[in-house]
A and B are shown apart, each in its own frame.
Chain A
Amino acid sequence: AQSVTQLGSHVSVSEGALVLLRCNYSSSVPPYLFWYVQYPNQGLQLLLKYTTGATLVKGINGFEAEFKKSETSFHLTKPSAHMSDAAEYFCAVSEDNYGQNFVFGPGTRLSVLP
């Protein structure tokens, strides 16, 4: 069965600094990978997803992630943090393109300091 680990339950960056949130997965088949963001008292919102093709995926709000098969990683980055980026970020994996067996990581809380 697939699984997801996110290194660092809490990450703090200064406004304008690089954001790097780490995600590693395990999967017995080529995975489909996702990043979701959750603002306080709200549901999850899809930031970006990797299915096939280009390994560098661009998402909303200036975020991007790169699928590295050799490292089983899908780290999320943003060149310059904004105060509005403060939220909880979840990495997820699916082993098929039907949405079955969707597994979320434990999440990383991002704080942005002024």
Chain B
Amino acid sequence: EAGVVQSPRYKIIEKKQPVAFWCNPISGHNTLYWYLQNLGQGPELLIRYENEEAVDDSQLPKDRFSAERLKGVDSTLKIQPAELGDSAVYLCASSTAGEPLTQYFGPGTRLLVL
């Protein structure tokens, strides 16, 4: 069984440019999470989806961040425009309705904003 897939793995952009990250969760996992992980810190939840519905986006900076999960499967997280402080690792995770406490994480996308 394939794990959570994220792309790209690395991205370098200049500030004020847009950037997008893609995540494909494990097949059959209805819950999808996007986390932000700053260097030397634990992940912080940005948004959580139940199928295609965003059920918790309270920590998502909506002035520049957006996310979608149109068909309840894969998801895209976008930043526009990017700022220097957005440099971090963006992690995607998924879980099933039957075991919501067991999250499976992807390898992350490491973003560097210059």
Interface on A for B, CB 8 Å cutoff? 4, 9, 32, 34, 36, 41-46, 49, 51, 90, 92, 94, 97-100, 102, 104-107
Contact = CB atoms under 8 A, between A and B. Distances in A.
B107 A99 contact: no
Given A100-B48, A107-B41, A45 B101 contact: no
Nearest to A91: B42
Given A99-B101, A100-B48, A41 B43 contact: no
B60 interface: no
Given A44-B43, A99-B100, A104-B43, 8 more contacts: A32-B101, A34-B101, A49-B102, A51-B101, A99-B31, A102-B33, A102-B45, A106-B41
Contacts of B40: 9, 106-107
Contacts of B105: 36, 43-45
A102 B31 CA distance: 13
Interface in B14-63: 31, 33, 40-45, 48, 56
Interface residues of B, number: 24
B31 to A, nearest CB: 6
Contact of A44 (B31, B56, B91, B95): B91
A105 B42 contact: yes
Nearest to B10: A41
A58 to B, nearest CB: 16
Closest 6 CB pairs of A and B: A104-B42, A43-B105, A99-B100, A44-B105, A43-B107, A43-B106
B108 A43 contact: yes
A20 to B, nearest CB: 19
Contacts of B101: 32, 34, 49, 51, 94, 97, 99
A104 B108 contact: no
